Amino acid sequence: MKGFCSGFKKDPMGTLAAWQDTREPWLLFAFTSILLVLLAHYLFQNWLHMLPCEQCVYIRYGNIVMAIGAFIVAIKPKVIWSKIVGIGIFLYGLIYTIMCSWKLMGIHDAVHSDDPLAMFGMQGCSTEPTYHFGLPLDKWWPDWFKQTGDCGYDAPVVPAGTELGDFQRWLIEVYQASDGWYLFPQWKFMDMASCCLLACIVAAIFLAAMIFGWVMRDFVKKA
């Protein structure tokens, strides 16, 4: 990483072009995407009892797709065809996740708005998720990909009789008081959809920079 930083200062595009030829950035993309899915399932859904909505499970699907694409590139990062296929799959997952995050952010803002007309003309959640290519993910892995909550409402819903630890109970009460999850609940700043969108934008910037450096080095300068 020290060598990357020093090289980036001298030649940003060249360094990014060389970096994307290694496994590190693609494995970073893959593991980050998987980590976000694991956090959504084990931390928010199972531990904090926040029910996943339709757009939430779509975002999980998008992150899994991004991880698959990144892993494909990481297998042979210098082979052009595997790189093109992997980046194509990654881009599909990234764009889909951005679209779902943007939609969820709009729904969240509308349902928490004091304006009675905020939801006018806005399409909410379906009763059952519909995945691309007809994939019945909600049937195969219902605990991971089946929606059990409503879009825009992510306050914890603790089943009756559930025993909670002290820290767990405190966190749940914090998010119940703020009527949902926020990065900074006391100010209701950065809801979950906004954080997902921000993470996607950061990933898109890094991906665009690496692709630009790769294209400039291997195609434009050689033409």
User: Domain ranges in the chain?
Assistant: 13-156+192-220
**Highest mean pLDDT: which range of 11-15, 61-65, 152-156:** 61-65
Compare 10 and 41 and report the one with higher pLDDT: 41
What's the topology of domain 13-156+192-220? Answer: Bromodomain-like (1.20.1550)
Query: Virtual CA dihedral for 142, 144, 145, 146, nearest 10 degrees?
Result: 50
Establish how many alpha carbons lie within 13 A of residue 127's alpha carbon, considering only the half-sphere containing its beta carbon.
Answer: 0
Establish how many alpha carbons lie within 13 A of residue 145's alpha carbon, considering only the half-sphere containing its beta carbon.
Answer: 17
Q: What proportion of the chain, given as a percentage, has pLDDT over 90?
A: 65
Structure-block tokens of residue 122 = 């806005």
**Average pLDDT for 112-133:** 73
Tell me the whole-structure pTM to 2 decimals. 0.89
pLDDT at res. 47: 96
pLDDT at res. 9: 64
How far apart CA 60 and CA 200 sit, in angstroms, is: 13
Residues 6+ positions from 24 with CB-CB distance below 8 Å: none
Q: Answer whether 67's CB lies under 8 Å from 33's CB.
A: yes
